[in-house]
Amino acid sequence: MKKRVVACILAVVCIASLNGCGSKFNGQDTVVEVGDEKVTADVANFFARYQQAQFETTYSSYLGDDFWGKEVTDGKTYEENYKDSIMDSLEEMYILDEHKDDYKVSLSDDEEKSIKDAAKKFTDSNDSAAKDAVSGDEKTVKKVLELLTLQKKMETAMTADVDTNVSDEEAAQKKMQYVLFSTKTTGSDGKSTDMSDDEKAEVKKKAEDFQKDAASAEDFSVFATAVGASATDLTFDSDTTSPNEDLIKAADKLKEGEVTDVIEADNGYYVAKVVSLLDRDATDTKKESIVSQRKSDQYQSICKKWKKKTDIKVHKKVWNTISFADQGVTVKSTTEDTDTSSDSSSK
């Protein structure tokens, strides 16, 4: 977020009615108490719609209509599960705001101006029905953007002392090329079925013949193509599980240039050649991933400690008046750099 604030550009689409959150919704009600802070339903609603918009835009085409009411895990619907996550994030942002002085974090004049301009642009760009549906008044939008910006700055400050040194040994990624001799066939209906035992035996024989000559082949991939197969590149370490754990275990024991035995799997027979014991690009990427995980672990650990010491009370009746199933929200256009601008329209 640097000197900019990134916010969703929203388009409100009413599913049940154009009543926003419903007749029981009161934006000034307290939805959650975090320490001494009382979070209004308006702030919770705009933040929730911000998250909902991103989720619906990304996943609605895959999940189908009315997916918010479908059960996803532990007897909870998509809406219940996602709203739990949103409430956790909302509580966290207020806790971080409470502790910002611990890390000497504050908003700069440029950030304040960017946030103010973004909030104004949102309200100027949207009609009253759309703004009512997402609690998109200038004051509320400004508050949410402040919280989001502070959260990002706090995360940076809280992880500034994380060790960023990662050795090649710790991050080492090997590289293989592998061929799958599949024992599956795909019918005209697109469904995959197993071959007959006789067909599988023929495929296995082909894999065994390939394996015998693969080690001496000058180019594993070219050799695979010559026998009507296709080689796939894969970087891996001992924790890799795809495409097949037995294949990974076998390849992990080999030296550079060596070829695995034929590895039997549910979907066919694998043969692989280790082409590098340390792939530079993949290893460097893994280093970045390790550092990122260290930072995430430290950040989450600090947040968890603070949360345990904070009195939090969720007013479920108020929170329940914010319904995703009754009010859809989708992204209208992409976010902008430099300035934050949000735009909603009702249909």
- Domain annotation for the chain: domains and CATH numbers: 9-163+290-333 (1.10.4030), 174-277 (3.10.50.40)
User: Could you identify the residue written with the tokens 């108020």?
Assistant: 318
C-alpha angle 11-149-104 in degrees, rounded to nearest 5: 170
For residue 5, what are the CA distances in angstroms to 100, 146, 148, 151, 328? 18, 8, 8, 11, 24
Regions of the chain where pLDDT drops below 50:
1-20, 22, 334-347
End-to-end CA distance of the chain: 31
Model pLDDT, residue 330:
72
Model pLDDT, residue 332:
63
Q: Do the Cβ atoms of 140 and 42 come closer than 8 Å?
A: yes
Model pLDDT, residue 186:
86
DSSP state of 43: H
pTM higher than 0.75: yes
Model pLDDT, residue 8:
44
d(C-alpha 290, C-alpha 277), whole Å: 19
Which amino acid would we find at residue 62?
A: Y
Model pLDDT, residue 109:
97
Q: Do the Cβ atoms of 35 and 313 come closer than 8 Å?
A: no
Q: Do the Cβ atoms of 125 and 7 come closer than 8 Å?
A: no
Q: Do the Cβ atoms of 275 and 281 come closer than 8 Å?
A: no
Model pLDDT, residue 24:
86
Pick from 172, 280, 177, 182: nearest CA to 219: 177
